[in-house]
Amino acid sequence: MSEEQKKERPQLGLAIPVTNKAKASSYDLKGNIMIDGKSYRFGAYKAQAKGNGKLAAGQEYYYFHRVEAMDAATTGAAGAATDFNPAELEA
């Protein structure tokens, strides 16, 4: 199959594991995604499965704590910027 025939896959966003957390309560995974032309940012924490669900005991997973639209996130509730800054993420 040639390059022209391959279906082009759109870039939908980034999920970046945070290895150098400023605080212990900082997210373990952050990033942004694009859904239906609208950009959202998210923050997730790493956890380990207890084994009484779909995952085996001890298996790591991320649970999303915050997902919000980028335009709402930039102004915040009181019009101030929030603590999430994509520029601080390490590539």
Q: Which helix (H) or strand (E) is 73 found in, with range? A: helix 70-75
pLDDT in tens, 49-59: 999 999 999 99
Integer Rg of the chain from CA = 17
Higher pLDDT, 42 or 89: 42
How big is the chain, counted in residues?
Answer: 91
Task: Quote the number of domains for the chain.
Answer: 1
Residue 83 domain-assigned? no
Residue 1 domain-assigned? no
* Beta strand segments in the chain, E: 13-17, 29-35, 38-48, 60-69
Enclosing domain of residue 65: 13-74
Q: Is the whole-model pTM more than 0.85?
A: no
Residue 21 domain-assigned? yes
